[in-house]
Amino acid sequence: MTDIAKNQILEVARKALHTEMLALRHLEETLGDDFAAAVEIILGCRGKCIVTGMGKSGLVGRKIAATLASTGTPSFFLHPGEAFHGDLGMISPDDVVLALSYSGETDEILKIVPFIHANGNKLISMTGKAESALARNSDVHLDVAVKEEACILHLAPTSSTTAQIAMGDALAVSLMQLRGFTSVDFARLHPGGSLGRRLLMTVGNVMRSKELPVVRPDCPATEMIHAISKGGLGLIIVCDGDRIEGIVTDGDVRRAMERLRGEFFNIRASDIATPSPKTILPGEKLIEAEKMMTRNKVTSLLVTDEADRLVGVIQIYDIKL
């Protein structure tokens, strides 16, 4: 690729991003009472927030519904065409409807507006035309008008869909704040995600508890090396009966070999063990284990019971699977 071609590509891309940035800045500057009213309607709704839209607005609507549902506002997407042919039964009188149409004149949406009114639902519209039929027939109108599309022909929905997505995100975030939605709530709705796993699962759920690499304080160097290799944890735990004396990592062994050279094979585990290793109870959440590792700059914790007896080992790799 020539420098000229590359520069042309980057120039067009930067212009598109700049155009969309200006659209978002305009959205920020014009946000006002209508937005607050929309949030209050959704917050006070005893049912769900039904999102609907056609074409590109429909794709954006699906994203908005998914974001709302995952952040504490029950929501789902309803295709307006399917709604007009029988799926209107999905809308209960307790629901609020959020309709997206940049023109505000989308026929499939306008056809279901009479039902929405007759059913007693509040209607929030998101359009780029404040005088459109949809805007005029809504309880609240959210203006997402943009000066121009980022498309080089100024035709394909680009800046306008970005504005719709941003407005939907603003709704979701505002509702999260008002509901007091926490990271624990988020994890409850995302149990399969990394955050959900760390917030909901305990150390005991993932710790290694079988065939732990435990050695005596007088364990010789050769046996230490063998135990570290066999254990597969990169460490050995030094115990005197049930009492934990310390921990030796493979790094401790390498440093001892470099320092002691030929004398290394005369040492015992207790000579290089780190005393009072960091421990955690099996009932603690994974996120607490992660915080402890970060705070103490370690990658492993010994898991002990209430009597300080060793029951397992947890490592950072177990948390971030």
CATH code of the domain containing 74: 3.40.50.10490
Task: Specify the DSSP class assigned to residue 273.
Answer: P
Count of residues in the chain: 321
**Structure confidence at residue 3 (pLDDT):** 78
129 occurs within a structural domain: yes
**Structure confidence at residue 182 (pLDDT):** 85
Q: Are 96 and 70 in contact (CB under 8 A)?
A: no
Q: Are residues 15 and 163 in the same domain?
A: yes
Mean pLDDT per 10-residue segment, the chain (321 residues): 85 95 96 97 96 96 96 95 89 97 96 96 97 97 96 92 98 96 78 72 92 94 93 94 93 92 91 94 92 92 94 90 59
Q: Are residues 253 and 171 in the same domain?
A: no
Q: Are residues 144 and 13 in the same domain?
A: yes
Count of structural domains within the chain: 2
Residue 228 belongs to what domain range?
A: 203-319
Q: Are residues 173 and 313 in the same domain?
A: no
The HSE-up count of residue 248 (CA atoms within 13 Å, CB side) is: 32
Q: Are residues 151 and 38 in the same domain?
A: yes
192 occurs within a structural domain: no
Q: Are residues 152 and 48 in the same domain?
A: yes
104 occurs within a structural domain: yes
193 occurs within a structural domain: no
237 occurs within a structural domain: yes
Q: Are residues 39 and 167 in the same domain?
A: yes
The domain boundary, picked from 181, 213, 243, lies at 181
Q: Are residues 152 and 10 in the same domain?
A: yes
**Structure confidence at residue 253 (pLDDT):** 92
Q: Are residues 86 and 167 in the same domain?
A: yes
**207 vs 47, 161, 216, CA distance in Å?**
42, 46, 22
**Structure confidence at residue 321 (pLDDT):** 59
Q: Are residues 159 and 10 in the same domain?
A: yes
Taking the C-alpha atoms of 90, 96, 102 and 104 in order, what is their torsion angle to the nearest 10 degrees? 90
Q: Are residues 121 and 227 in the same domain?
A: no
The domain boundary, picked from 148, 181, 214, lies at 181
**Structure confidence at residue 191 (pLDDT):** 67
236 occurs within a structural domain: yes
**Structure confidence at residue 171 (pLDDT):** 98
Of 94, 42, 40, nearest to 68 by C-alpha is 42
Q: Are residues 52 and 8 in the same domain?
A: yes
Helix axis angle, 159-179 relative to 3-30, nearest 10°?
A: 50
189 occurs within a structural domain: no
**Structure confidence at residue 196 (pLDDT):** 72
Helix axis angle, 159-179 relative to 55-70, nearest 10°?
A: 20
Q: Beta strand pairing status for 122-127 and 214-215?
A: unpaired
**Structure confidence at residue 96 (pLDDT):** 98
The domain boundary, picked from 127, 149, 181, lies at 181
CATH code of the domain containing 252: 3.10.580.10
148 occurs within a structural domain: yes
